[in-house]
């Protein structure tokens, strides 16, 4: 038998010994009943506690006050504990014995067990007494189930590492499968050579790389751009290399005024039954064949078209090496040989304004004589966009630039259906919607500012360009913009002010053009009165901002007022174009915004004004409706 531990031996010595004198007087049967570890059918003696041993002793009241209970049935004695079990039991805390009731307590009938209990009384909190080790002999099963010497399991580092590695392998496998599914998706058409504009990550800047090698699937013209270096602006200036530096502008003959040509509105002209509210076909006149036909039918001349070509060549020659344009054209290859630079710092405004001049002539990054110039400009414009949760921010300090940039992206997408331009164009429109003044419905220099007519005009035209490209433009945004125009109008919509009702010529022309695109009919009393005001005033000799908007109003209106206006302004622009030195093909007027925008701005505005014959189809003529129906 294994040797007992000192603790177990000491616990056994502490147990009470039977009274020897009393044992001598007992009969053999009584002595057997009093022997330790034996159970009898006889009940306890008077004044002795019931023979409940083991863990139940700790839960019973004091035996001295317990009533006498009937005898219980005799039960077989449990096996004796080994020395290891006694040693382990002695080392356990006293409360451990109360965790598992002895087997005989479970087998005892519930009625007898309840009868053996004393009557219910408000007992004080019971503090479990120390259970002698010998008493644990009555619960050998509970003690043996503890398995002495077996330590509890602990979480070790190798188990943690194993679960971590398993999780990492599962997630890595899922990422690889998802990546393969994405790569195997449908092929997307992209801008030739464009490597980072198919989708936009809102958490990092957009980076666009210029094409460096041939890419399959590109059109024939685009393949040449990727295989050969892009021409620099200095190469485009080579045609001017034999010309002297710029000389003072030749004094031009003062153009006749509107009153001299009898510009009046016709009386009794029947209104048209059709007003173009579907804007999707308004860009259909920019193709080569349509452009030639509309040039002759709408009042253009070979001389006006030659002036457009010279203006586009000057703009291409002053493109910066990174593909942008700057109002300060001295920063490029011109090196100061053209006078009147601008001071405005927004490169996105300058770049998009020039791109609109090229796009107005049908020049895109996929087709035309200036395809590589337009391509580099679009690259720069998209690269300068700042992704935000509200859309692409192209302001560079002013919402003027946002409206111009959105117009350029929308027109480029509408003319080419290049799907890589769809998302940048849509996101640029989204930013315009976000920047709208929620109270007044207009726009100004920064998002959320109370609006003014000049900035609002560019945003409305950008939204209408988005509609021409089948992009998403919320109707509530356009309705709010109309509410702003209501707040600055006079004479039932005939005249418009800057931020309050007024009759300013420039703001009136902007307001009338916006009303036309909102669907006002030609017989609208306010619209007719506003056109009469512009026609009576005639073109400005030095304000291209006013001439640009008023020309579009008169062109959409048509009839004799348009013919009179066009004859005056067309000849004025042809005569005012510079034809000497590096300024050849450019314009400069001191009025309007010339002080901050300079020669580059005037040239782009003049080119777009001379493109009016085909840049947008007229809104109020049956021919425009029929031509649009073919698209």
Low-confidence ranges of the chain (pLDDT < 70): 1-81, 84-85, 87-160, 179-280, 622-631
**Total count of residues recorded for the chain:** 631
Residue 476 structure tokens: 């509530």
Please report the pLDDT score of residue 174 as a whole number.
Answer: 79
Tell me the β-bridge partners of 386: 393
Rounded-to-10 torsion of CA 412, 415, 416, 420: 40
Instruction: State pTM to two decimals.
Output: 0.60
Please report the pLDDT score of residue 263 as a whole number.
Answer: 33
Contact 302, 311 (CB under 8 A): no
Query: Nearest 5°: phi and psi at 590?
Result: -80, -20
Please report the pLDDT score of residue 143 as a whole number.
Answer: 41
Burial 568-593 (b: 16+ CB within 10 A, else e): bbbbbbbebbbeebbbbbbbbbeebb
Residue 49 CB: number of other CB atoms within 10 A?
15
Please report the pLDDT score of residue 196 as a whole number.
Answer: 32
Residue 51 structure tokens: 């023979």
d(CA 489, CA 508): 8
**CB contact set of 273 (below 8 Å; sequence gap of 6+):** none
Contact 467, 473 (CB under 8 A): yes
Task: List alpha helices for 274-390, DSSP H.
Answer: 288-297, 302-317, 347-360, 371-384
Contact 312, 368 (CB under 8 A): no
Residue 532 CB: number of other CB atoms within 10 A?
16
Please report the pLDDT score of residue 177 as a whole number.
Answer: 74
Please report the pLDDT score of residue 6 as a whole number.
Answer: 59
**CB contact set of 335 (below 8 Å; sequence gap of 6+):** none
Tell me the β-bridge partners of 392: 387
Please report the pLDDT score of residue 165 as a whole number.
Answer: 83
User: CA 544: distance to chain centroid?
Assistant: 37
Residue whose pair of structure tokens reads 């291209």 in the numeric block = 544
d(CA 333, CA 389): 38
Please report the pLDDT score of residue 84 as a whole number.
Answer: 67
Residue 165 structure tokens: 């590695």
Tell me the β-bridge partners of 489: 496
Please report the pLDDT score of residue 163 as a whole number.
Answer: 76
């Amino acid at each position: 038998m294994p040797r007992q531990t000192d603790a177990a031996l000491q616990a056994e010595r502490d147990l009470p010994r039977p009274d020897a004198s009393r044992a001598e007087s007992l009969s053999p049967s009584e002595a057997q009943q009093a022997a330790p570890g034996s159970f009898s059918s006889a009940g306890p003696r008077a004044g002795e506690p019931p023979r409940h041993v083991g863990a139940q002793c700790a839960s019973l009241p004091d035996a001295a006050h317990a009533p006498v209970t009937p005898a219980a049935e005799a039960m077989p004695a449990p096996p004796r504990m080994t020395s290891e079990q006694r040693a382990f039991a002695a080392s356990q805390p006293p409360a451990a014995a109360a965790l598992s009731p002895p087997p005989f307590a479970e087998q005892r009938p519930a009625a007898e067990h309840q009868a053996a209990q004393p009557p219910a009384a408000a007992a004080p909190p019971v503090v479990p007494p120390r259970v002698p080790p010998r008493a644990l002999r009555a619960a050998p099963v509970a003690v043996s189930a503890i398995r002495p010497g077996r330590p509890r399991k602990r979480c070790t580092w190798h188990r943690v590492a194993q679960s971590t590695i398993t999780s990492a392998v599962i997630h890595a496998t899922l990422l690889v499968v998802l990546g393969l599914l994405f790569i195997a998706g449908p092929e997307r058409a992209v801008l030739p050579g464009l490597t980072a504009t198919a989708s936009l990550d809102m958490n990092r800047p957009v980076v666009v790389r210029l094409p460096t090698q041939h890419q399959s699937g590109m059109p024939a013209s685009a393949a040449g751009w990727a295989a050969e270096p892009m021409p620099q602006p200095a190469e485009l200036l080579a045609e001017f290399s034999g010309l002297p530096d710029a000389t003072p502008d030749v004094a031009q003959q003062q153009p006749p005024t509107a009153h001299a040509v009898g510009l009046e509105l016709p009386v009794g002209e029947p209104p048209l039954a059709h007003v173009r509210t579907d804007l999707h076909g308004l860009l259909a006149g920019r193709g080569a064949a349509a452009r030639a036909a509309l040039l002759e039918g709408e009042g253009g001349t070979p001389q006006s078209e030659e002036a457009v070509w010279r203006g586009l060549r000057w703009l291409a020659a002053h493109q910066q090496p990174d593909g942008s344009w700057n109002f300060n054209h001295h920063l490029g290859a011109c090196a100061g040989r053209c006078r009147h630079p601008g001071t405005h710092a927004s490169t996105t405004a300058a770049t998009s304004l020039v791109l609109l001049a090229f796009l107005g002539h049908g020049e895109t990054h996929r087709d035309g004589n200036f395809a590589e110039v337009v391509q580099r400009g679009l690259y720069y414009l998209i690269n300068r966009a700042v992704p935000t949760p509200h859309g692409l921010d192209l302001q560079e300090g002013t919402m003027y630039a946002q409206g111009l940039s959105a117009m350029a992206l929308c027109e480029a997408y509408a003319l080419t259906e290049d799907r890589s331009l769809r998302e940048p164009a849509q996101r640029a429109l989204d930013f315009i919607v976000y920047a709208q003044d929620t109270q007044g419905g207009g726009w100004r220099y920064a998002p959320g500012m109370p609006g003014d007519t000049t900035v609002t005009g560019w945003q409305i035209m950008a939204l209408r360009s988005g509609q021409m490209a089948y992009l998403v433009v919320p109707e509530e945004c356009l309705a709010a913009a109309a509410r702003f125009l209501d707040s600055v109008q006079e004479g039932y919509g005939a005249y418009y002010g800057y931020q309050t009702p007024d009759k300013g010529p420039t703001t009136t022309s902007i307001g009338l053009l916006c009303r036309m695109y909102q669907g006002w009919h030609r017989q609208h009393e306010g619209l007719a009165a506003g056109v009469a005001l512009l026609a009576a005033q005639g073109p400005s000799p030095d304000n291209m901002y006013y001439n640009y908007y008023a020309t579009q109003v008169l062109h959409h209106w048509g009839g004799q007022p348009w013919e009179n206006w066009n004859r005056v302004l067309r000849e004025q622009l042809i005569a005012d174009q510079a034809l000497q030195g590096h300024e050849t093909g450019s314009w400069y007027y001191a009025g309007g915004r010339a002080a901050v925008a300079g020669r580059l701005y005037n040239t782009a505005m003049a080119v777009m004004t001379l493109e009016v014959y085909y840049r947008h189809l007229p809104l109020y003529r049956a021919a425009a409706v029929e031509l649009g129906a073919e698209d």
